[in-house]
């Protein structure tokens, strides 16, 4: 196994409508030679700090985020679910990626991706497999149940649940006794050809 190197909508301007109430008489002009002083003008009333909407004028709703924009999550690709440096290392070796649907047994996750990296010019099992997909709790529970029924092994820690190939199937493959491994986190699942390689799999950047 090759160990690759380690691994905003336009801001809407808020239109504020101010209603300015003006009261009092106009200031009288001071005439030259006039002996009586002109009356003092009455100051205009201060504009309210938060004016009520004026009829016929629609005030835009506040934006949902402090910046006024939200960046939608990227679609997963074979390039963006692993570190860029790792993808660059693979290409430097002449490797390319083969994209497939993310599947867990009979369960297909349409919004996910599963990738096999290797040298397509050489027939070899020297490949690396990575996958990532969003998943809801019910689907995750069903997928884990199906895997366990098929002989896969489950381990759980504070981060989430690992479901890995039965060690008896490895025949020397894998690392530290772990072959293909799924990791079920909070709202996502990822896959790698060894448990150790799961560290390379990230959410789409």
Instruction: Express each pLDDT in 14-25 by its tens digit.
Output: 333 333 333 333
pTM across the whole model:
0.64
Residues 25-77: tens digit of each pLDDT:
333 333 334 444 444 544 444 444 444 444 444 444 443 333 343 455 689 99
What CATH number is associated with residue 135? 3.40.1000
More confident residue, 185 or 60: 185
Decide if 36 is inside a domain.
no
> Average of pLDDT values for 180-189?
96
Report the pLDDT value the prediction gives residue 22, as an integer from 0 to 100: 37
Decide if 194 is inside a domain.
yes
Decide if 79 is inside a domain.
no
Decide if 101 is inside a domain.
yes
Decide if 142 is inside a domain.
yes
> How far is C-alpha 38 from the chain's CA centre?
68
pLDDT band at 176 (very low <50, low <70, confident <90, very high): confident
Report the pLDDT value the prediction gives residue 109, as an integer from 0 to 100: 96
Decide if 18 is inside a domain.
no
Residues 114-167: tens digit of each pLDDT:
999 999 887 767 889 999 999 999 999 999 999 999 999 999 999 899 999 988
**Which token pair is 21?**
């109430």
**Which token pair is 72?**
């939608």
> How far is C-alpha 202 from the chain's CA centre?
11
Q: Which domain holds residue 163?
A: 84-200
Domain total in the chain: 1
Decide if 90 is inside a domain.
yes
Residue 7 pLDDT more than 90? no
Backbone angles phi and psi of 23, in degrees to 5: -130, 165
75-92 exposure pattern, b = at least 16 Cβ within 10 A, e = fewer: ebbbbbbbbeebbebbee
Report the pLDDT value the prediction gives residue 64, as an integer from 0 to 100: 39
Report the pLDDT value the prediction gives residue 170, as an integer from 0 to 100: 80
Decide if 160 is inside a domain.
yes
Report the pLDDT value the prediction gives residue 72, as an integer from 0 to 100: 55
**Residue in the block written with tokens 């027939």:** 123
pLDDT band at 172 (very low <50, low <70, confident <90, very high): low
Report the pLDDT value the prediction gives residue 71, as an integer from 0 to 100: 54
Note whether 154 and 162 are within 8 A (CB).
Answer: yes
């Amino acid at each position: 196994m090759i160990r690759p190197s380690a691994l905003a909508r336009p801001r809407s301007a808020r239109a504020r409508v101010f209603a300015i109430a003006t009261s009092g008489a106009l200031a009288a002009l001071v005439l030259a030679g006039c002996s009586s002083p002109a009356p003092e003008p009455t100051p205009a009333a201060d504009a309210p700090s938060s004016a009520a909407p004026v009829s016929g004028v629609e005030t835009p709703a506040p934006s949902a985020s402090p910046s006024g924009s939200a960046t939608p999550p990227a679609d997963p690709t074979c390039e963006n679910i692993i570190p860029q440096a790792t993808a660059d290392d693979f290409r430097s070796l002449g490797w390319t990626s083969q994209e497939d649907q993310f599947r867990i047994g009979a369960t297909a996750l349409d919004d996910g991706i599963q990738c096999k990296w290797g040298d397509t010019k050489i027939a070899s099992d020297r490949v690396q497999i990575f996958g990532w997909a969003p998943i809801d709790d019910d689907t995750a529970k069903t997928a884990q149940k199906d895997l366990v029924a098929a002989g896969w092994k489950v381990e759980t820690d504070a981060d989430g649940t690992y479901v890995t190939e039965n060690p008896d199937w490895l025949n020397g493959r894998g690392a530290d006794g772990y072959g293909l491994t799924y990791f079920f986190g909070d709202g996502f699942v990822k896959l790698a050809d060894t448990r150790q390689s799961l560290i390379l799999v990230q959410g789409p950047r």
